[in-house]
Amino acid sequence: MDKEQSLQQFWSSFGLPAYDETSVPDNAVMPYITYSVATGSLDDIVGMTATIWYRSSSWRDITIKKNEIAEAIGVGGKVIKLDDGYAWLCRGNTFAQRIPSEDDMVRAYYLQIQAEFLTEN
């Protein structure tokens, strides 16, 4: 898998639809995850973001999902396989923060991820 496909697979592994933040379908229904795509080559460290979106009156379910993602990445990071190497995903300095919304039913967490690409391309 190339870098973009591997990122899609990673974000889709949490039981929610996952979309590149530039291609969320108009008919997407919450809950879902959006994520940025940033890639690099050998030893490049790039910042990426993801947002978890829920429609709910409570923060309970979205917080559980945020914690699931944090656990999957772990304290030391998560390595994902690429066609030509690996990507090492780590939590950013401020891993998760709530996003305020004017809609009282929209709940969102903004996640910061750092990725180091261990690949030649």
Note the pTM of the prediction, 2 decimals: 0.92
Least confident of 21-35, 56-70, 76-90: 76-90
Instruction: Find out whether 109 and 51 touch, Cβ atoms under 8 Å.
Output: yes
Read off the CATH number of the domain in which 15 is found.
3.30.2000.20
pLDDT tens digits along 24-62: 999 999 999 999 998 777 777 899 999 999 999 999 999
Higher pLDDT, residue 108 or 120: 108
**DSSP-assigned states of every residue in 39-105:** --STTEEEEEEEEEEEE-S-SHHHHHHHHHHHHHHTTT-EEEEETTEEEEEEEEEEEEEE---SSTT
Total of domains in the chain: 1
**Three-state DSSP state, 71:** helix
- The CA distance from 57 to 39, in Å, is 36
User: What is the domain extent for residue 32?
Assistant: 3-119
